[in-house]
């Protein structure tokens, strides 16, 4: 068995994160060694009763002070700049990323692909394509951790968090929950399978109903249409083309209609009232579950770029 200091790397970011980690470790190790050796040396040299020169220092102390202030400052600025650059890269998924939805619960990961395929404790992704996960939890805090991709992100009830990566190597990799979430936390594990894009496409084609289609059915069965469709007698904000737009609220704030905004408008509709409308929408908390909310969001997304439905 070979000895490994690092897990295998299978994403575009992994090598870069490893390089930063090695740099930080090397700098720390260097100073630990220098300081420890100096301590041992001086302990021996100036031990009680030893013959050593104990006269006051006679060299330019100011220059030394400046040197050991400026040099560590530059070194830590390199660490800061390097680390911050990588952090921002990891926080900003590319616009063309493949979007996959993840819901965590005690104790499993539920994954929903946009064309319909669903899986549990498994995540299939194509090689060489950026993948963005939009994640939430239906109970407690979990954390979606793929060591081979060097990504880990808390999955929090009541909000959406994201994580992205670009797989660079075919294979099967560990998936862990990295947040203690109850008695079976240690069993909340799975695998990530990186496939050739063509294999991924054929794997996807065996999937079920697209979430946007399920979302449209929910939209109609929950009665959303009776207020929100054009031509409705109720004065309510139109939803076609809403996703991704800026929205002016009654209290003067301007927010982006992203996943979090739409989720909040469903479970806590009094929070963000659109300018020009009355707070009359009931809450759908406990009416729809997290996966249904995500289906409704998928439906909202599918309406972008489509002409609004004619009045019925
Ligand atoms: Cu979920 Cu630990």
Count up the domains in the chain and report the number. 2
Q: Compute the distance from residue 107 Cα to the ligand 1 centre, in Å.
A: 6
Looking at residue 230, its pLDDT comes to 78
Measured in Å, residue 177 CA sits from the centre of ligand 1 at 4
DSSP letters of the chain?
A: ----SS----BHHHHHHHHHHHHHHHHHHHHHHHHHHHHHHHHHHT-TT-----PPP-S-HHHHHHHHHHHHHHHHHHHHHHHHHHHHHHH---TTPEEEEEEEETTEEEEEETTS-EEESEEEEETTS-EEEEEEESSS-EEEEEGGGTEEEEE-BTS-EEEEE-B-S-EEEEEEE-S--STTGGG--EEEEEE-HHHHHHHHHT----HHHHHHHHHHHTTHHHHHSTT-SS-----TT-TT-EEEBTTS-EEE--HHHHHHHHH-TTSSPBTT--S-PPP-BTTB-HHHHHHHHHHHHHTTTSPPPPP-
Q: Name the domain boundary from 148, 178, 208.
A: 208
Quick one: 127 and 17 in the same domain?
A: yes
CA-nearest of 219, 209, 210, 239 to 296 is: 219
pLDDT, tens only, 18-36: 999 999 999 999 999 999 9
Shared-domain flag, residues 274 and 146: no
Do 217 and 175 lie in one domain? The reply is: no
Q: Is the pLDDT of residue 308 over 60?
A: no
48 domain-assigned: no
Going from the Cα of 138 to the center of ligand 1, the distance in angstroms, rounded, reads: 12
pLDDT in tens, 50-69: 888 888 877 778 888 999 89
* Same structural domain, 148 and 3: yes
- 98 shares a domain with 198: yes
pLDDT exceeds 80 at position 251: yes
**Mean pLDDT throughout 187-205?**
92
Range of the domain at 239: 211-302
179 lines ligand 1 (CB under 6 A): yes
Chain segment 252-272, per-residue pLDDT in tens:
889 988 888 888 888 888 888
Last residue of a domain, one of 165, 181, 208: 208
CATH of the domain at 230: 1.10.760.10
| 183 and 289, same domain (yes or no) | no
User: Is any ligand 1 atom within 6 A of the Cβ of residue 216?
Assistant: no
Q: Quick one: which atom of ligand 1 is closest to the CA of 107?
A: 1
Q: Are residues 3 and 135 both part of a single domain?
A: yes
177 has a pLDDT exceeding 80: yes
Report whether pLDDT(242) > 50.
Answer: yes
Is residue 70, in this structure, part of any structural domain at all? no
Please report where in the chains the tokens 């990295």 appear, as a residue: 178
Give the pLDDT score at 306.
65
Say what the pTM is.
0.79
What's the pLDDT at 1?
Answer: 57
pLDDT above 60 (res 310): no
310 found inside a domain: no
Mean pLDDT, the chain, integer? 89
The answer to the question of residue 51 being in a domain is no
The answer to whether residue 84 sits within a structural domain is: no
Lowest-confidence region among 66-70, 133-137, 164-168, 240-244: 240-244
Same domain, 146 and 178: yes
Tell which atom from ligand 1 comes closest to the C-alpha of 185. Answer: 2
2 and 121 housed in the same domain: yes
Ligand 1 close to Cβ of residue 101 (< 6 A): no
Q: What percent of the chain has pLDDT over 70?
A: 97
Same domain? 188 vs 102 = yes
**Which of residues 276 and 142 earns the better pLDDT score?**
142
Q: Is the pLDDT of residue 307 over 70?
A: no
Q: Do residue 204 and residue 215 come from a single domain?
A: no
Query: Is any atom of ligand 1 closer than 6 Å to the C-beta of 185?
Result: yes
The whole-number average pLDDT for the span 119-130 is 94
pLDDT at 276: 83
Question: Is the separation of the CB atoms in 301 and 132 below 8 Å?
Answer: no
Whether 120 maps to a domain, the answer reads: yes
For residue 244, tell me if it sits in a domain: yes
Measure the CA angle with vertex 102, ends 114 and 290; round to 5°. 95
Domain boundary among 208, 241, 263: 208
Q: Residue 57: inside a domain, yes or no?
A: no
Shared domain for 269 and 172, answered yes or no, is: no
Atom from ligand 1 closest to the CA of residue 106: 1
For the sheet containing 108-113, what is the strand order? 118-120, 108-113, 98-105, 131-137, 161-165
Q: Model confidence over 83-110: pLDDT tens digits? A: 999 999 999 999 999 999 999 999 999 9
pLDDT at 311: 44
Q: Which CATH number belongs to the domain containing residue 178 in this structure? A: 2.60.40.420
């Amino acid at each position: 068995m070979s000895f490994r200091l690092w897990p295998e790397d299978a994403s575009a970011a992994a090598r870069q994160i490893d390089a930063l980690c090695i740099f930080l470790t090397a700098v720390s190790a260097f100073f630990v060694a220098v300081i420890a050796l100096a301590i041992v040396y001086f302990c021996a040299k100036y031990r009680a009763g030893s013959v050593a020169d104990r006269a006051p220092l006679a060299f330019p102390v100011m220059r030394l002070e400046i040197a050991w202030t400026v040099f560590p400052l530059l070194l830590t600025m390199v660490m800061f700049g390097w680390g911050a650059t990588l952090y921002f890269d990891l926080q900003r998924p590319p616009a063309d990323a493949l979007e996959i939805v993840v819901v965590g619960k005690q104790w499993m990961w539920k994954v929903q692909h946009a064309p319909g395929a669903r899986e549990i404790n498994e995540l299939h992704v194509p090689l060489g394509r950026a993948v963005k996960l939009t994640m939430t939890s239906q109970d407690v805090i979990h954390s979606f951790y793929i060591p081979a991709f060097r990504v880990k992100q808390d999955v929090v009830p009541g909000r959406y968090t994201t994580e992205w990566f670009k797989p660079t190597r075919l294979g099967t990799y560990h998936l862990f929950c990295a947040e203690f979430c109850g008695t079976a936390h240690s069993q909340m594990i799975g695998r990530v399978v990186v496939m050739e894009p063509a294999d991924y496409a054929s794997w996807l084609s065996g999937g079920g109903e697209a979430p946007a289609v399920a979302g449209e059915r929910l939209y109609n069965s929950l009665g959303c249409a009776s207020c929100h469709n054009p031509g409705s007698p109720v004065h309510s904000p139109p939803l076609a083309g809403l996703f991704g737009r800026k929205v002016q609220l009654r209290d003067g704030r301007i927010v982006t209609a992203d996943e979090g905004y739409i989720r909040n408008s469903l479970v806590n509709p009094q929070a963000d009232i659109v300018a020009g409308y009355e707070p009359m929408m009931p809450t759908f908390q406990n009416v729809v579950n997290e996966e249904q909310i995500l289906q409704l969001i998928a439906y909202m997304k599918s309406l972008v770029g489509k002409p609004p439905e004619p009045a019925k």
